[in-house]
Amino acid sequence: MLPEFEYAKCLFNEYGLELSEEQYEKLDIYAEFLVEYNEKVNLTAITEPDEILKKHFIDSVLMLKFVDIPRDSSMIDVGTGAGFPSVPIAVFRPDIKLTLLDSLNKRTIFLEKLCEKLGVKAEIIHGRAEEVSKNEKYREQFDVACARAVANMAVLSEFCLPFVKVGGNFTAMKGPNENIEASEKAVKILGGKLAAQIDYDLFDEQRKIVVAEKISQTATKYPRNSGKIKKNPL
C-alpha cells in the first residue's frame, strides 16, 4: 500500500525522523486498513499512498520532534477521527499511555480494530469531549492532550485543556492561518498559558504547532456545552 520502505525512510529522514522496518510495516497496515474502511465510514479525504505517508503519518510523528513528551506520559487525543496524530505517534513511542476520544461510534469501532491490528495499547472512548472531561476519571488526568483540527485555538482549548493535569500541556496541530494571539485570553481563563508556536513546512504546505502549558486547575464551570463553546468562544 505505502510507497516502498527506502523511499519512506528517506522522507522521514528529511525531517530528522528515523523509520525502522517494523514501524514501516505497521504504518503500511494502518494505511491499507484506513483506505479499506474509508469506503464504508468517512474517515479521510486523503487516500493516495504517497499523500497518506506525507500528510497523515509524517505530519503526525513530527509532533515528537517539536514537542517534548517525557517517557511513560499519558496522552489523550481529542476528536481523534481516524487516529491522527496519536496512533502514528504510538507506533514510534509505545511507552505513551494512550487514550483516544471520538464522538462518533463508527469511528471508535474503526479505532478498536486498528489498534488491535497494530498492537497499539489504547483506551478508546466514545463520547463528547465537553461531557467526558467532566468525569473525574478523565478530568485533569493527562500529561498531554492533543488535537489536529480545524476549529480555532480558543474553541479547541475549551475542549482539551480540562483534560490536562497541572504541569502538562495541550498541543494543537494547525494550519498556517491560525491567529494564536486571539486565543490567549481563552487559554488563560482555562488555566493555561501559550508556551510555544512552531511554524514548519510539510513538503509544500505550511503548518503550525501550538503548545499551551497547564499552570492552574480549570474552573469547574468549563467546558460549557458545545453550542456555547462554538457560538461564544472565550
Q: Which residue shows C-alpha cell 493555561?
A: 192
Asked whether the predicted pLDDT for residue 10 surpasses 90, the reply is: yes
- Domains contained in the chain, number: 1
Mean pLDDT of 115-139: 97
What is the rounded CA–CA span in Å between residue 21 and residue 5? Answer: 7
Question: How high is the pLDDT of residue 198?
Answer: 94
Tens digit of pLDDT for each residue in 24-73? 999 999 999 999 999 999 999 999 999 999 999 999 999 999 999 999 99
Mention every residue, 6+ apart, whose C-beta is less than 8 A from residue 224.
Answer: 130, 158
Strands 142-148 and 164-174 come out as: parallel
Tens digit of pLDDT for each residue in 96-110? 999 999 999 999 999
Mean pLDDT of 82-104: 98
How far is residue 101 CA from its own chain's centroid?
A: 10
The CATH number of the domain holding residue 39 is 3.40.50.150
What is the rounded CA–CA span in Å between residue 162 and residue 147? Answer: 13
What is the rounded CA–CA span in Å between residue 120 and residue 91? Answer: 7
**What type of residue is 152?**
N
Domain that holds residue 55: 5-231
Tens digit of pLDDT for each residue in 178-214? 888 889 999 999 999 999 999 999 998 999 999 999 9
Strands 97-102 and 122-126 come out as: parallel
**Percentage of the chain with pLDDT > 70?**
100
Q: Which of 123, 125, 135 is closest to 98 using CA atoms? A: 123
Q: Which three cell numbers stand for residue 99?
A: 487514550
**Percentage of the chain with pLDDT > 90?**
94
Q: Which helix (H) or strand (E) holds 146?
A: strand 142-148
Question: How high is the pLDDT of residue 109?
Answer: 98
Tens digit of pLDDT for each residue in 126-136? 999 999 999 99
HSE (side-chain half, CA atoms, 13 Å) at 70: 7
Question: How high is the pLDDT of residue 180?
Answer: 86
Question: How high is the pLDDT of residue 179?
Answer: 83
pTM of the model: 0.96
Confidence band, pLDDT 50/70/90 cuts, at residue 151: confident
Confidence band, pLDDT 50/70/90 cuts, at residue 176: confident
DSSP secondary-structure letter at 231?
H
What is the rounded CA–CA span in Å between residue 69 and residue 170? Answer: 11
